[in-house]
Amino acid sequence: MTQQARILIHIPHYEGHHDGATRMVRDYVSRTIHDCVILTSSGEDSVDGDYLDEKYDWADIIITHLGTVGEAINTCKKKNKPLIWISHNTHGCRAIELRPEIGIIYNADWTVGVNGYKNDHVVCHPMCVFPEGQSNGYFVTLINCCENKGGDILAQLAERDIACLGVEGAYGKQVEGKFEFIDHTDDIVDVLKMTKVLIMPSKYESWGRTGVEAMCLGVPVIAHETPGIRESLGDAAWYCDRNNIEEWVEMIRRVDGHHAQKHIQGAMATQLAKIKEQAEQDVVKFDEFIIQQLDKWQISNVSQSKGSSELKEKAKTQTAV
């Protein structure tokens, strides 16, 4: 059995935030064998210095992401603690590039190597809900109606007399249009049960968790083919050019039928089996990577301490001579 470590999760937000990055952290915290404590600090939600010191002193190793990277790096240097950074995209982080001793957890296979980091790393994908049953929904649905996720596409589809549903996202200005709109909800299954086709016309997507969850209920997915969408959905989705609205209209009409859905069922079953097996492996990989990084840090500290002692002894000898 893997030994248990004390992990401080130092991130901007935790409870009450619904973005994919925060949800991924919550999902791994709930599954890991390690002992985790959460510390949030960002902007107006800053943390007292003594409290920060207390939490870092308790921990064996620190995990961070997004807006707390700088503070975590500086505090780890001060406290001589190992640090792991979760990479949720390929936008790059100069602070990580300059510190090869920091471990990296990537959220998708395709993102490894994009920014040229030489750090130790592991890939642990976002966790999915795997609902059972079958959707008998009515709507063409988009989760998060910001422009980057495709809110403009949904608005154009609604103008074509297609019954559309938009769900408020965790971030970004939400595009308005002639479609049904509901506030953000944690119960994605209820939304998917109202859905006959899920669209994912994102400009950028590092991984496609919502599409995987839709497939569990037999909901066909039409997406703009980003590397992350392709990795998560494979051949179990239909793909459209994001900028060709006529292609989206035609694809929705084609997919909205028994024959089309039957055609893709085999690909959906294959992809879901792969994702479920991958999820089990990812939790083990996460737990093992924590210990690997902790052990490496401790060995490095011993070597540095030994080297420092040897230099001091050599200096004493030279002085005595």
- pLDDT tens column, 153-192: 999 999 999 999 999 988 899 999 999 999 988 788 899 9
User: In the Cβ-directed half-sphere of 26, how many Cα atoms lie within 13 Å?
Assistant: 14
* Structural domains of the chain sorted by starting position, each given as residue range(s) with its CATH number in brackets: 6-127 (3.40.50), 139-255 (3.40.50.2000)
Q: Dihedral (C-alpha) 172, 174, 175, 178: value to the nearest 10 degrees? A: 160
**Buried/exposed code over 240-251 (b: 16+ C-beta within 10 A; e: otherwise):** bebeebeebeeb
Closest CA to 102 of 75, 129, 126: 75
User: What's the whole-model pTM score?
Assistant: 0.89
CA dist., res. 274 & res. 271, Å (int):
5
Question: The tokens of 50 are what?
Answer: 């003594």
CA dist., res. 165 & res. 190, Å (int):
13
How many other CB atoms sit within 10 Å of the CB of residue 111?
21
CA dist., res. 6 & res. 207, Å (int):
29
Ranges of the chain with pLDDT below 50: 1, 306-312, 314-315, 319-321
**Model pLDDT, residue 275:** 96
HEC secondary structure over 247-261: HHHHHHHHHCCHHHH
Contacts of 78 (CB under 8 A, 6+ apart): none
Q: What phi, psi does 66 have (nearest 5°)? A: 50, -130
Whether residue 59 contacts residue 6, with contact meaning beta carbons closer than 8 Å, is answered with yes
- pLDDT tens column, 126-156: 999 898 888 888 999 999 999 999 999 999 9
CA dist., res. 68 & res. 43, Å (int):
10
Question: The tokens of 181 are what?
Answer: 């709109």
Question: What letter represents residue 211's amino acid?
Answer: G
- Between the two ends of the chain, the Cα-to-Cα distance in Å is 53
